[in-house]
Amino acid sequence: MISHSIEQALLRQQNPADALFLQRFFKTGVGQYGEGDVFLGIRNPQTRAVAKDYYKEATIDDIAALLSSQWHEVRLCALVIMMHQYKKANESHKKSLYDLYMHTIGGGINNWDLVDVSCPHIVGAYLYDKNRQDLYTLAQGGLWQKRVSIISTFYFLRNGDITDTLQLAEILVHEQHDLLQKAVGWSLRELGKVDGTVLDTFLDQHAANMPRTMLRYSLEKYGKEKRLYYMALATAE
């Protein structure tokens, strides 16, 4: 299988010092969100270069094998390969990539960088012209399922469609995990670029009760006066 060659190409570039830094940065300690994840210490451009070299040869079985690797960068490489393939795939292969991705959320896809780099380009792209109920099922799941649900809608936002971002933000607006608060706030910020009036209405309804981290992220593109206004609503509450 070509998956072995891909893994070996990455292993040859490992950097133990950088690996230790990344394991701290991505919170891999006991009880942290990335508990147990293991890094090679490879920079993203190196990982992407390996993916570019091999994506045309990789089969769906190769990708599945890479996604089951203990090494974070090997799984990232698998996701970049999926993104390359998805752009040129026929509908049947797109569905195979989508199904594999959905099956792997919370398994091999288990940190915020893996989610954020890939889900808009696979989950969002696949569901853009289809029924999107899968996103709402994900929104009832665990940390990574919920993050995929809202970040996938970036694909819709880039095409001017705010509906699901808004509805999922309503579902996730009271989430307590920092990574979900940031994801929802970030998504609301991007929604505001498409339709600022809709974001204003959302904040008028929720600013007083939504988590402050989420609120701060949603306000990043507002001017100082407007940011202070909405933050004051949260403070007053």
Q: What pLDDT digit, counting tens, does each position of 148-196 carry?
A: 999 999 999 999 999 999 999 999 999 999 999 999 999 999 999 999 9
As a 3-state breakdown, the chain gives helix, strand, coil percent values, each rounded to 5, of 70, 0, 30
Sign, CA dihedral 87-89-92-98, equals: negative
Where do you find CATH 1.25.10.90 in the chain?
132-237
pLDDT averaged over the chain? 96
Domain 1-127 adopts which CATH fold?
A: ARM repeat  fold (1.20.1660)
pLDDT tens-digit readout, 20-76: 999 999 999 999 999 999 999 999 999 999 999 999 999 999 999 999 999 999 999
- Whether 237 has a pLDDT exceeding 60, the answer reads no
Domain 132-237 adopts which CATH fold?
A: Leucine-rich Repeat Variant (1.25.10)
Q: Which of 172, 107, 102 is nearest to 132 (CA)?
A: 102
* Displacement of CA 207 from its chain's centroid (Å): 24
At residue 236, the pLDDT reads: 53
Q: Does the predicted TM-score (pTM) go above 0.85?
A: yes
Confidence label for 234 from pLDDT (cuts 50, 70 and 90): confident
Where do you find CATH 1.20.1660 in the chain?
1-127
